[in-house]
Amino acid sequence: MDSTVADMSILFITNELCLDHFPGNKHPEQPDRLSAVLSSFQKIDFKDSVIEVLAEPIEETMLFDVHGEQMIKHLKDIHANGGGRVDEDTKMSSGSWLAACLAAGAGVQAINYLRAGNTDAAFCAIRPPGHHATPVQSMGFCLLNNVAITAKYLLSLGEKVLIVDYDAHHGNGTQDVFYADPNVLFVSFHQWPLYPGTGAMSETGSGEGEGTTLNIPLPAGTTGDIYLHAWDEIVMPKVEKFSPTWLLLSAGFDAHRRDPITDLGLTSGDYSLLTSRIIQTVPSGHRLVFLEGGYDLKALELSTTAVLHALIGETVFPEPVSNGGPGSESVSKITKLVKQNDF
């Protein structure tokens, strides 16, 4: 490890109580997902560069910066009944509400640590995921929108926030929260078509936020070379123009080719390269990663390894990178749209 890497440090924030969210025996969003991430963390060879922090619950008042009172009441009522169905895909168990509050609180804690100058980047190893949760509805395995809550906190501090979401599913909830906000640039790479059916390239923001939503819908089988080309060709010009002060990364690993519920073609090596480029958009100390989706345990472990190394300044390849898949036509169409509309 070179001296530059050795001088860097990561905040790793988690809480084993997040394992107590249990949405059902056959549900894809199992506690073992977090166990796989924690296993990857235990195997890294730079533990002396990691500060481990126990996630604490969010202050309830901060939830209302993103979510409506009726939505929160609905979740708390389900919790009071010992759990139950939230929507067709989303269920709560007796431990789900506390897990959700821990997941939502982790990002705010991480921001406070990073602002104090304690670490160069942070990884929030939490569940349930959050990017589908809208201001008024929990959905798509998500209860509270962890990334959006953290972004709202940063906005209250006068920051400009870049949110990059490379989960295979479009982060409709995050998009909804910031669709008209000129101080948040939301960028989403996702499979198209796929749940939840949002994220068309024509969805670019509204009002003062026109042009601050950038969707990159990609066909099944898309490989890492296409992601990197889209990042360089489409995203970076937007980011340079926007000039963010903080980066929040919704790191869903279900774009991995092993994932059982999606059809994209990435490998953990691709996550290494892509993450390394993404984090360069803001200064060290302003980079925060959230675990989102990813439903193959081996893919989760390998991809987490790649991302943790990227945050410390190393590029590692647990698997070879992928290339040669479809998607170039989609990138060309999006590039043309962006240039035509000067977004």
Report, as residue numbers or ranges, the catalytic residues: 132
- Residue 213 main-chain phi, psi, to 5 deg: -120, 125
Q: Both tokens of residue 12?
A: 């790793």
Alpha carbon distances (Å) from 168 to 161, 188, 235, 237: 21, 9, 17, 23
Q: How far apart are CA 148 and CA 130, in angstroms?
A: 8
> Do residues 83 and 257 touch, judged by C-beta distance below 8 A?
no
- Residue 214 main-chain phi, psi, to 5 deg: -130, 105
> Do residues 71 and 136 touch, judged by C-beta distance below 8 A?
yes
Q: How far apart are CA 29 and CA 300, in angstroms?
A: 12
Which residues lie closer than 8 Å to 31 by C-beta, 6 or more apart? 18, 19, 20, 21, 22, 127
Which residues lie closer than 8 Å to 94 by C-beta, 6 or more apart? 20, 79, 82, 83
Determine the 3-state secondary structure of 39 from DSSP.
Answer: helix
> Do residues 282 and 245 touch, judged by C-beta distance below 8 A?
yes
Q: How far apart are CA 49 and CA 313, in angstroms?
A: 12
